[in-house]
Amino acid sequence: MGRKHFLRFGLGGAVTEKIAEDAGYSRGALYSNFDSKEELFVAVIHDEQARHLNFFRSLLKDEPSSRKRVKKLRDGIADLMTDHDWIVLRAEFEIGALRSESIRKRFVEAHRQQLHDGSELVRDLLRSPDVTSRLTPDDFITVIINLAHGLAVTQRILGSELSQKSTRSLIQTLFDRLISST
């Protein structure tokens, strides 16, 4: 609930009554579950992150080949980081965190959880003797998430000057420089 509205209007332009109406709820029903539109926005971010984590886990779950697991993670990260909706929601969350102390605290929690979950995925990859990384799992995921997101935001702003395809390729190249499989 609220995802489409936040994508269209951002956190600042979102109207609680319209979010409730679009979801088929009364304003009171919305406020019985969330204290504010900021809290609803954070819930949307948490739902997105949980969906992403479940996607990555299912992507890697049944793949026995470490080489294919590395490629699937690399391509999945490149796809996620160049996904228009995720770029906008994540950037909106960052802007909210810069403007509001309460959102900043929630951003820090969500970001730490994202880093933790990503590090676990990378740690799992590195259990294979034929997968190596130049960085620790924690450092790897910090670099890949933040640099890839920055590239993706720049790509969205520049448009044709930096295509989505080029951005995806740059993210894959960065990944390949940091993790390899033999």
- For the record, the structure tokens of 165 come out as 């395809």
Structural domains of the chain in order of their starting residue, each with its CATH number: 37-181 (1.10.357.10)
Asked whether the whole model's pTM tops 0.85, one would answer yes
Which two tokens mark 120?
């676990």
Give the tens place of pLDDT for each residue, 60-100: 888 889 999 999 999 999 999 999 999 999 999 999 999 99
Tens of pLDDT, residues 112-130: 999 999 999 999 999 999 9
**Cβ–Cβ < 8 Å for 2, 20:** no
Q: What CA–CA distance (Å, rounded) separates 163 from 154?
A: 10
- Distance from C-alpha of 91 to C-alpha of 152, rounded to nearest angstrom: 10
